[in-house]
Structure 1
Amino acid sequence: MERLRFRVIGPTEVRVDGVVVPLRAKRLRSLLTTLLVEANRVVGPDALIEALWAGEPPAGPERALHTAVSRLRTALGPAAEVVRTVPGGYLIEVRDEQLDLTEFRSLVLRADGVDDPRERARLLTQALGLWHEVPLAGGSAVESIQSRPWLILDRLRAMELLIEARLVLGEHAAVIAELTVLTKEHPLRERLWVQLMLALYRSGRQGEALAAYRELTAVLAEELGVEPAAEVRSLHQAILKGEVPAGKAAAPAQSAENGWRTHWQLPMDLSDFVGREQLADELTTRLDNRGAMPVVVVSGPPGVGKSALSVHIGHRLRANFPDGHWHVRLAGASASPREPSDVLAELLGLAGLEPQAIPEELDPRAALLRSTLADRRVLLVLDDARDARQVLPLLPGTAGNAVLITSRNELTALTVSVGARGTRLAMLDPAEATSLLSGMLGAERVASEPAAAADLAEICGRLPLALRIAAGLLRGHPDQPIAEYAEELRTGDRLGSLVIDDEPDTAVAAAFALSYESLDLPVRRLFTLLGVIPGGDFTAPAAAALLDCPARDAGRLLDFLVSANLVQRERGRYRMHDLIRLYAAGRAKADPEAGPAWRRLADWYLRTADAAVDHAYRAHVRLTARFFDVNPFDDEAQAGSWLEAEELNLIAMIERAADLGPCETGWQTADVLRQYFARIRRIDPWRRSAEAGARAARVSAAAGDRSGLGAMHHSLGVLYFATGHLDQALAEYTAGSVCYAEIGFRLGEAALVCNLGMVYLQMGDLTPAVDHQERGLDILRSLGQTTRLVPSLHSLSDAYRNLGNLAGALAAAEESWINEEPYQRSVSLMNRGATYRLLGELVAAEADLTEAIAMIPRPSVAGYYELALLYADLGRTAEAVDEAAFALEVSQREGLEWHEAVARNVLGAAYTLVGRCDEAIEHHLAARDIAVRLVHHSTVVESWLGLAAAALAGDDLRAALDHGNQAMTMAAELKLRIAEARTGRLLAEAHRRSGHLGVAAELETRVAEIVASSGFRPAVRIG
């Protein structure tokens, strides 16, 4: 079986499966409509149609067609013989004089040539009597053809001519009711309003005539943004003055020579149009090209101001196109974009052609438009085009004319076919967005809250439509602070709030919905699922994870979204405007596919992050096993680039998983990323990741799985230790080691016990520091994890150095060389270099420290301030200042407070050596405040020692003794023997200068004992 498709293509023809069937029977339109409604079903080939027409009863789905044909035969009666079947449909053949439309047009033509208004009215009444209903209306099967204008225009023109004749005859009151109905049905047809105003005035109803003018003015302003034509305004003035001539009909419509009608259809330009000036200048110049016909396409996302810009440019070009500005809304973003054939009929009508002179086929219409516009200068603004197919037939063919097209799609095909120049419209920049708000709210109101206005612009994504709606709502509440409204938008339903009086046409979401509904189903599905992406941008592989398809297929669908300006592509990545992303998220909430898609995406992020981390950080202690099967990255550089690009997305994924699930995936991803964040010192992202992972782990623990708690305590402990928050690090490491012991993760327990030793070391409590390190190392050795000994050996080296066991410190540093990984090796070199410095082997120290810094791209801040201390010992004070200052800069930039305190102490010591004692004191005081807050005892000691050295350099002996005694007391209590020896030297010098030679000698003896037992070789400098 095959399906026959019927389609009316004109007043006298029907297309049936590609075959044009003439309609030549008088008064058959309604009967044919009935046939079409019934016949648009499954029917058989020609032989079956022949059988049906012969009256043979059908079976199955053909019964409806048979009923319709029978109904038609009965209605035709003796005329049934004019209907016969042809391949593909029915052919109805009668003479031209039997056709209603032919008779109608003949009567109207005769009326045009009659001077007597009474005879003219008689002929027009007879012509209109042939109409029994509105043409082509009422049947669902023919809804698609209701927009065809020629029959309706023919009938309207005849009605206007009849009313004009009746007005001349003085039947003013009799036509008012009919005109009232017609102006409501056709509110943009100004001719009818002129007749209504005239009829009301001549019936003694001047006030109602003026009210009709006001109603027309409001309709035109709202619908088109224009004022009434000069003819209407002239009649309005005449009515106001009471000077309308009696006994005459309304003036004919304005027309130019040879039937040309000049139209200025552009909507009203925005009085507060802001920004885009450079682009407007460029497009104005491009459109005013008389040597060729320019075609300019302005594309962009919904609400970005494409139509406003095109209207603004059009008004600037009025003098350049004297034959008119045509403005056509193509409804490309709607579910029913306008057909090119219909638009061509409208344009040809604008040019002055009568309906009967307009061809019925698309190509002849397009050719006629090109001929009509030849040697003219018309600016054609085609607003909201869907695609190139809709636009191409509408283009003029000669220079002098110009076409400005707006579209949510990029219309790349026009660039290829006609050399169109495309411009993609972006969001307003911050200054332009604020200017728009100033224009709508008043400069004074915006100037009183500049920060809030800028914030509101960002909340609206600097999207002109959103900004105008927001400003419109604020203008209705003149007493409301901008900041208060901005906060309401930020915390509430942003898209739902950006609407005026619940009118869909004034809603941001409605603008997005039009674009969404125009997408094909697969593209629409992807757009909806993109609403679950928690980050700001994404890649084709991420989209593929959502769809569970190959990345290549996802990329093709993304190309459609890019073309539709719902997604932007930037250097191989994709992003959505904030408000569009909110719209997609809203659709995703109601889509049952969104949940599984989100879980696929979260799993993809976990597996891919694990693969990337595996390239460089596979040796770190981690509870979770490997998640990926095949590593997609070629090398460490590629993996690192991916991690850097996806960092914010990974954190957003963990945060969303903590709130909505899957919780296990959330904390596992945070665990995977720990060593990456630790290695590159990305403190803020690390904190967000670990805290979100901890939330997810607590949810899992409530369900009976406590393993995630240990992993997140581990990550937070390392984070707090790295940032110098030692009390918090101590708590996290202790809790984590307990969790690891509970679940039997001995390697993790050993790592955290060793980490506890490092914390105690930094707090200056050396006894528990050594105890924990030894216990942790014992567990590691029992597990055969020799390579895992390295971090603890680094810690032991540091502990021995503080205790004054420099030989042990050197041995631990050298033993830690068993790990050849660059970062670990650099730490070993730094430990050895720092120990060499204290042993007085300054050349070897410089070799180790400079090599450690050069070994990895992002060395520890400690390397720089250790190098500064070495330069100070070598007397290279300028270099010492530079290195210490750089260490301070890096530590502040990366939020490393503990390292900042140490760097300030080192910089203060360097400043003391170059005589900048006041600046040195400022840095030591700041370092002491940080260290006290962080409970960092050894750093507090260094701060007191630095203050004492600065005071001594400034000959303030009392302050030097006070600060030095503070440092000595703490160093002795904490058993920081190197610090004790350095402080003793400084106090001995201060007492010597004060004349306390005996005290000085006692201190020098104490220092000598420490030096002899430790191997410490103090520098020449004091402190």
Structure 2
Amino acid sequence: MLSTGSSGDSLLELGLLGPLEIRVDGQLLDISAPRLRTVLGTLLLSPGRTVSTRHLAESLWEDDLPADPANQVAACISMLRRTFRQGGVSPELLVTRRPGYQLMVGAGVRIDATVFRELQEEARASSRADDPRRALSQLKSALGLWRGGVLSGMDCRAWQPEIRRLEEEYIALREHCSDVQLGLGLDEDVVTELSVFVEQHPLLERPRAQLMLALFRSGRQADALQMYRATAELLREELGVSPGEDLQRMHKTMLRGTADTPAAKRISRERTLVPHAGSFTDPYGPPCQLPGDLAEFVGRREEIDTLRSAIAPGSGTVPVAVIVGPGGTGKTVLAVHTAHQLRRTFNDGQLYVNLRGMDSDPVPAEEALARFLRELGLSGAAIPDSLDERAALFRSLVAGRRMLLVLDNAGDARQIRPLLPGTDTCGVLVTSRTRLTTVPNAHVLELGVLGRDQAHMLLCQLAGKERVEAEPDVARELVEYCGRLPLAVRIVGAKLASKPHWSLRRAASRLVDERRRLDELAHEGLEVRSSLELSHQGLSPQARRLFRRLALLAAPDFAEWVCAPLLSLSVLEAEDLLEELLDARLVDVVTPVGSPRARYRMHDLVRLFASECLSETEPGVERAAARRRVAATTLALADLAHREVCGGDFTVVHGLGSRPSVSEDVIRLAAGDPLDWYEADRSTITALCAQAAEHDEDEIAWDMAATSRCLFSVRFHFDDWQHTHEVALAAVQRQGNKRGEAALLLGLGDLDLTRRLYERALPLLERSRELFLEVGDRHGYALALRKAACADRIQGRTTTALERWRECLPILREAADLEAQIQVHRWMSQTLLELGRDEEAEGSLRVAVRMAESFEGRSAAQVHLAQADLRLARGELDRAAAAYETSLRATSRLGDLSGRCAALLGQGTVDVRRHRIARALERLGQALDLARSIQDPLLQVEVLLSLAAAHVAEGRRTKAFVLLTEGEELCRRMGAASRRERFTAALADLAGRSPDIGQATGIAGRQVE
């Protein structure tokens, strides 16, 4: 009893079955403050139990918690106590109980929800005592307590599970009441009461069936049949399904003029089900709750076979198959289609429940079990209260029976474990957006988008085959705009079917604009955006933030490290959030087979949804900052990989702007193998470079392109090299950034050199040199000058090349660019060697060797090659062979394919000199294959020359002639005059030895220069 002080004892009535209502001795107590009403409502939903401060705070503020939620909740409790005291109620009603607060219940407190449940129990007891009229009176009293929706007028996401549970109890009680009324012959009462109820709950089939039966019995056959037609149309429009079997059978029987059917009996009276020895009896046939199958189901043949095999009964354990996939991939459609195919296998019945696992109010396991038990014949009074008891009873009822359960839209394993049968005669099909790895005996089937042919077939079935085949190219566009997502294709197909005057081209034109695409992918209740929103709303606030910002990435896929700079978090924190997105199927893993590094990707439509969320939620300045952090981190990692290849920060010009700080834990990810990082994240480099250029962030764009040039070179990624430099060049030219322009022209000229396009390369390098001189960058000037000298050398201007290299060496020493100096000395040595100036060549090479002694970069291996070339020219075959072997090992370690090719060429040439022709042909054949694979014509001509020599030594002059001819043509295309002279001389020598060589090879008319 709660004392109210001197006035004696009072009755406190608390109402939540409708708007929140507080009465003291019948008088309303006004509590108008929204926060106080929310706190009281939260406590009322758990009377007599401690509610944590955290839960109260989440009820008040949801995700946007204040800095001191505990203090603010305590203030609300204090104000409530004060309000109760002023209303004559003892403040002892609310007590502090760690970790929160408790609403005390006792003789002086009456809560309508508690009374409602007590009356339910009394009605069940009356039903068990075979006293239906007393049960009806108690049911009417319980239903009379409802004044509207639970806590109506107040919106709190944290309340939804308990509110849903109460509302489901109300629905079950309403159905129970109608059962009792029909059993007592009170058909008119059912018509009066259910007519309003079905309007309020239009998608519930059972109350509609009860109303149909009551109408039929009341002599209103036409109204009963009209009710069926309205129900069928409603279910088709809202859910895309047909009425259940009970309704269909009753409809057919009513058409014959009688409602005396098993289906009617199932509805018109409570069924008594007696569990005994693991079996049950239901004289009215097996239940089938499956939604209707889709006539236009296509494809998925392999997946269906997998599911049928996975849930075949008789394996010794309960067979469970879990269909996992993102929203819109057709998980439910596949499960229902497969379940219909298995009805003969599971001939004791098929049970279905939509668990709404991603909704804010998922179906609790207790509620799902209650539905199953009622469908299996139990009256409401016979259903136990506790979850464990319901689960145990359910297992007993289906034991030994061939029953199929379809558990649709499961949120997590906890939601479905209590629903699992206990014997292997049953089968379970589960659909979920998360991998339920802790479900016993589960076979998980990952469901992705449709194949192109399957998506095209679905479009044909929905829009019409002739119509689709009349515009085949446009049909393919439509399917790709939909990302081959079944839901999206179904929407487009349905929209076309409803608009026969539309061409496919018109439909496609409405999907071209990405900003409108999600708006267009909606039709008659089907909507891609709402499907994605279900997954999105279940994320934590930080995971939502990551989801939004992933839309900033322009790359087709990404690595987990990208998430850290997007959010300014540590790698581990960001990885946890990424896993949350994976669990929600908003991100997919697309790691290539055999790759040690995971890669991730967003479906195109998911990315559009994320982009919408981003633009609606975050201001442009925050988006730009996140994008710059990712670009800066990518640049730092590319710089790390560049240093690995070059042995330090050499042969590159960087931007002058200050670089943003980069998280050390991200850097550590790539430090172990920077080149492996580069191979995995090359697409990230190119995409972010282009993105920075697009946003006129020219400094970071050109810095990223220039820093990555050496990486592109060593891995022969010429397309990436050209793309990054060209888009960054456009950006620096828009901004008038001459230093950036000079660096990018240097890179493009170097690319043409690498591709052996010397005539194109030289003007670019000359312009780069001029610009560097104009802006006063001596290091950049020297780098451009040394590359221009390389073009001079190949085009036969060796004197000019040597002069330019001598000019740039002092500047490179001044800049402490060790690798560039090594390269220049090596190139000078090779050029002098070609000119026959062996002593000078050895002097230059000696300097390069000394510089490279403690050097770990690419140039060190190239110096070994130059040493081997010099020893080969001097006839020191043993020393040359050893140097080539050393170089081969070094280039293989660095992944330097051109260096490896040159080492194999050198080894093969040594073998030719030693007359080991078979071994020479093997090595030179490998070198030629490698030179062709990396598309290096200069290396190809060097290998062709040695191969021709090997064939001449074996007497195969015709083969040698063909090889020399190929090499000379390559030299002509490159404009490599000095190389071409060597081939011309070799051809002339070969023709002089064998006058009939032209006729023997079929090219007798060829003129040898």
Give the TM-score normalised by structure 2: 0.74
For the pair 1:505 / 2:526, whether they are aligned, the reply is yes
Residue 524 of structure 1 and its aligned partner are, at CA, apart by: 1.9
Alignment match, 2:996: 955
Amino acid at match of 1:887: A
Alignment of 1:494-643 (within 5 A): 496=517, 500-503=521-524, 505-507=526-528, 509-568=529-588, 571=596, 573-579=598-604, 580-590=606-616, 591-592=618-619, 593-617=622-646, 618=648, 620-624=650-654, 638-643=673-678
Equivalents in 2 of 1:40, 1:725: separation in Å? 75
Alignment match, 2:287: 263
For the pair 1:334 / 2:359, whether they are aligned, the reply is yes
Deviations 1:776-826 (A, max 9, x none): 235446778776432222222333344444444444334432232464344
Amino acid at match of 2:407: L
319-328 or 292-301: bigger deviation: 292-301
Equivalents in 2 of 1:340, 1:28: separation in Å? 38
Decide whether the 8 Å contact of 1:948 with 1:960 is kept in 2.
no
Residue 303 of structure 1 and its aligned partner are, at CA, apart by: 2.9
Alignment match, 2:66: none
Decide whether the 8 Å contact of 1:287 with 1:295 is kept in 2.
no
Structure 2 unaligned runs (5+)?
Answer: 1-11, 48-76, 90-102, 274-280
Alignment of 1:737-816 (within 5 A): 737-780=769-812, 788-816=820-848
Residue 284 of structure 1 and its aligned partner are, at CA, apart by: 3.8
Alignment match, 1:149: 168
Aligned residue among 682, 692, 695 for 2:717: 682
Deviations 1:44-87 (A, max 9, x none): 999xx9xxxxxxxx9966676579889xxxxxxxxxxxxxx956
Deviations 1:583-638 (A, max 9, x none): 33443344234332222222222223323433442152233389789795599862
Deviations 1:631-686 (A, max 9, x none): 95599862332233222222222222111254322222222222333334433333
790-799 or 196-205: bigger deviation: 196-205
For the pair 1:140 / 2:166, whether they are aligned, the reply is no
Residue 226 of structure 1 and its aligned partner are, at CA, apart by: 5.2
Larger radius of gyration: 1
Question: Compared with structure 1, are the counterparts of its residues 595 and 334 closer, same or farther at alpha carbon in structure 2 (3 Å cutoff)?
Answer: farther
Equivalents in 1 of 2:111, 2:690: separation in Å? 74
Equivalents in 1 of 2:740, 2:246: separation in Å? 80
Alignment match, 1:982: none
Aligned residue among 209, 234, 249 for 1:219: 234
Alignment of 1:102-117 (within 5 A): none
Question: Compared with structure 1, are the counterparts of its residues 938 and 322 closer, same or farther at alpha carbon in structure 2 (3 Å cutoff)?
Answer: same
Equivalents in 1 of 2:193, 2:625: separation in Å? 62
Deviations 1:259-300 (A, max 9, x none): 747321122344534236367436644452474444443333
Between Structure 1 and Structure 2, how many residues are aligned?
Answer: 906
Residue 178 of structure 1 and its aligned partner are, at CA, apart by: 7.7
904-913 or 520-529: bigger deviation: 904-913
Alignment match, 2:976: 936
Aligned residue among 183, 186, 209 for 2:202: 186
Residue 928 of structure 1 and its aligned partner are, at CA, apart by: 5.3
Decide whether the 8 Å contact of 1:197 with 1:213 is kept in 2.
no
Decide whether the 8 Å contact of 2:549 with 2:623 is kept in 1.
yes
Q: What's the C-alpha RMSD, in Å, of the aligned pairs?
A: 5.6
Aligned residue among 634, 643, 648 for 2:683: 648
877-886 or 760-769: bigger deviation: 877-886
Residue 519 of structure 1 and its aligned partner are, at CA, apart by: 0.9
Amino acid at match of 2:415: Q
Residue 499 of structure 1 and its aligned partner are, at CA, apart by: 5.4
Residue 407 of structure 1 and its aligned partner are, at CA, apart by: 1.7
Question: Compared with structure 1, are the counterparts of its residues 404 and 813 closer, same or farther at alpha carbon in structure 2 (3 Å cutoff)?
Answer: same
Alignment of 1:178-257 (within 5 A): 179=195, 182=198, 185-189=201-205, 192=208, 196=212, 212-221=227-236, 227-228=242-243, 232-233=247-248, 236-237=251-252, 243-244=256-257, 251-253=264-266
- Partner SS state of residue 327, structure 1: strand
Question: Compared with structure 1, are the counterparts of its residues 907 and 656 closer, same or farther at alpha carbon in structure 2 (3 Å cutoff)?
Answer: farther
Decide whether the 8 Å contact of 1:536 with 1:576 is kept in 2.
yes
Residue 937 of structure 1 and its aligned partner are, at CA, apart by: 2.9
581-590 or 476-485: bigger deviation: 476-485
For the pair 1:717 / 2:749, whether they are aligned, the reply is yes
Equivalents in 2 of 1:727, 1:851: separation in Å? 34
Deviations 1:836-875 (A, max 9, x none): 5555665655554454334421352444445555555555
Aligned residue among 69, 72, 91 for 2:109: 91
Equivalents in 2 of 1:152, 1:402: separation in Å? 29
Question: Compared with structure 1, are the counterparts of its residues 383 and 250 closer, same or farther at alpha carbon in structure 2 (3 Å cutoff)?
Answer: closer
Question: Compared with structure 1, are the counterparts of its residues 636 and 758 closer, same or farther at alpha carbon in structure 2 (3 Å cutoff)?
Answer: farther
Alignment match, 1:317: 342
Question: Compared with structure 1, are the counterparts of its residues 450 and 760 closer, same or farther at alpha carbon in structure 2 (3 Å cutoff)?
Answer: farther
Equivalents in 1 of 2:505, 2:461: separation in Å? 18
553-562 or 144-153: bigger deviation: 144-153
Alignment match, 1:978: none
Equivalents in 2 of 1:825, 1:612: separation in Å? 17
614-623 or 929-938: bigger deviation: 929-938
Equivalents in 1 of 2:522, 2:247: separation in Å? 32
Residue 200 of structure 1 and its aligned partner are, at CA, apart by: 8.8
Decide whether the 8 Å contact of 1:543 with 1:554 is kept in 2.
yes
Equivalents in 1 of 2:982, 2:713: separation in Å? 26
Deviations 1:549-574 (A, max 9, x none): 22222233233333333334555534
Give the TM-score normalised by structure 1: 0.73
Decide whether the 8 Å contact of 1:760 with 1:769 is kept in 2.
yes
Deviations 1:344-385 (A, max 9, x none): 332332233333444555555445544544554432222111
Alignment of 1:405-416 (within 5 A): 405-412=430-437, 414-415=438-439
Structure 1 unaligned runs (5+)?
Answer: 1-11, 17-22, 50-57, 71-84, 967-1023
Alignment of 1:23-42 (within 5 A): 40-41=38-39
- Partner SS state of residue 573, structure 1: coil
Larger RCO (CA under 8 A, 6+ residues apart): 2
- Partner SS state of residue 405, structure 2: strand
Alignment of 1:748-897 (within 5 A): 748-780=780-812, 788-820=820-852, 821=855, 823-835=858-870, 837=872, 845-857=880-892, 858=896, 859-860=898-899, 861-865=901-905, 867-868=907-908, 871-872=911-912, 875-897=915-937
Decide whether the 8 Å contact of 1:666 with 1:693 is kept in 2.
yes
Residue 192 of structure 1 and its aligned partner are, at CA, apart by: 3.5
- Partner SS state of residue 384, structure 1: strand
Question: Compared with structure 1, are the counterparts of its residues 44 and 711 closer, same or farther at alpha carbon in structure 2 (3 Å cutoff)?
Answer: closer
Residue 764 of structure 1 and its aligned partner are, at CA, apart by: 1.9
Decide whether the 8 Å contact of 1:183 with 1:192 is kept in 2.
no
* Aligned-residue identity in percent: 25
Equivalents in 1 of 2:966, 2:475: separation in Å? 37
Equivalents in 1 of 2:824, 2:524: separation in Å? 68
Equivalents in 2 of 1:423, 1:755: separation in Å? 56
Question: Compared with structure 1, are the counterparts of its residues 606 and 227 closer, same or farther at alpha carbon in structure 2 (3 Å cutoff)?
Answer: closer
Deviations 1:720-755 (A, max 9, x none): 211112133212222222232233332332232122
- Partner SS state of residue 267, structure 1: coil
Deviations 1:305-354 (A, max 9, x none): 33233324423432343332111111111222223343333233223333
Question: Compared with structure 1, are the counterparts of its residues 533 and 929 closer, same or farther at alpha carbon in structure 2 (3 Å cutoff)?
Answer: same
Equivalents in 2 of 1:956, 1:483: separation in Å? 62
Amino acid at match of 2:926: F
